[in-house]
Amino acid sequence: MREIVLDTETTGISPNDGHRLVEVGCLELFNHVVTGKYFHAYIDPERDMPEGAFRIHGLSAEFLRGKPKFAEVADDFLAFIGEDPLVIHNAAFDLGFLNAELARISRAPIPAARATDTLDIARRKFPGAQNSLDALCRRFGVDNSGRTKHGALLDSELLAEVYLELMGGRQPGLVLQAEYAGMHGERVARAPRPIALPPRLSEAEEAAHDAFVATLGGEPLWPVAKAE
């Protein structure tokens, strides 16, 4: 399964107040593994940069002046994300800005249903706890020491690690479950087998194995115990 971890930086907190997108960063996961493929762009917001926003991400109006407009990167961005699920921390914020930019160039919005919101997952798993990206990095031991400022691509890289931890680790499908779901969805401990299963090898198969081992010569590296 292909998923896209996505983050944005902006000039403010609401596109309804005239704030604009200034950076987009995304990276690809395939079966919960980072592939190394990514999309990143700085965007000229065609407006000033408020001091509060600058303190968060460090992107000045001077730095962004002359960078591509959103219309110039939209096709590459949309091609990269395709129709695949998106992983976003506080998805309503990022999708709100992306869809406002898409509306300006008469492109279809990205449906909210495509997004897995890691903030929502974290709030359900850790109610009452701090669930910012920095807080989740600390919780899961993800190294965020390089995050002196917010940055869309760096934050996507950190979020990918946090997301995998929220989903149960880097290989959640390989975890041996010690529990199973009860009739009403509750977690029920798996009881140990009261009687061991009988050996599945026939006497003829055991004799054939012993004969083969005898042809190898030398002593085994570890003792071989036969079934009773």
pLDDT digits (tens, 9 = 90+) for 67-91: 999 999 999 999 999 999 999 999 9
What's CA 47's distance to the chain center, in Å? 32
Question: What pLDDT, in 10s, does the model give residues 201-220?
Answer: 678 878 887 787 777 766 66
For residues 66 and 227, the model is more confident at 66
Query: What does the alpha-carbon distance between residue 4 and residue 37 come to, in Å, rounded to a whole number?
Result: 10
Pick from 145, 147, 171, 142: nearest CA to 58:
147
Residue 2 has pLDDT above 90, yes or no: yes
Q: Which of 19, 57, 89, 150 is catalytic?
A: 150
Question: For the chain, how many residues are written?
Answer: 228
- pLDDT one-digit tens code per residue, 124-151: 999 999 999 999 999 999 988 877 678 8
Q: What is the pLDDT of residues 88-103, one digit of tens each?
A: 999 999 999 999 999 9
pLDDT at 159 over 80: yes
If you average pLDDT over residues 24-51, what whole number do you get? 96
When pLDDT is cut at 50, 70 and 90, the band that residue 223 belongs to is low
Spatial distance between the Cα atoms of 58 and 160, rounded to a whole number of angstroms: 22
The mean-pLDDT minimum among 18-32, 162-176, 185-199 falls in 185-199
* Residue 156 contacts residue 5 (beta carbons within 8 Å): yes
Instruction: Enumerate residues 6+ apart whose C-beta is below 8 A from 152.
Output: 7, 8, 9, 23, 24, 25, 40
pLDDT of residue 188: 44
Which helix H or strand E contains 84, and what residues bound it? none
Q: Is the pLDDT of residue 25 over 90?
A: yes
Using the Cα atoms of residue 85, residue 90, residue 93 and residue 94 in order, give the sign of their dihedral: negative
Q: What is the pTM of this model?
A: 0.72
Mean pLDDT computed over every residue of the chain: 85
Concerning whether 184 is annotated as a catalytic residue, the answer is no
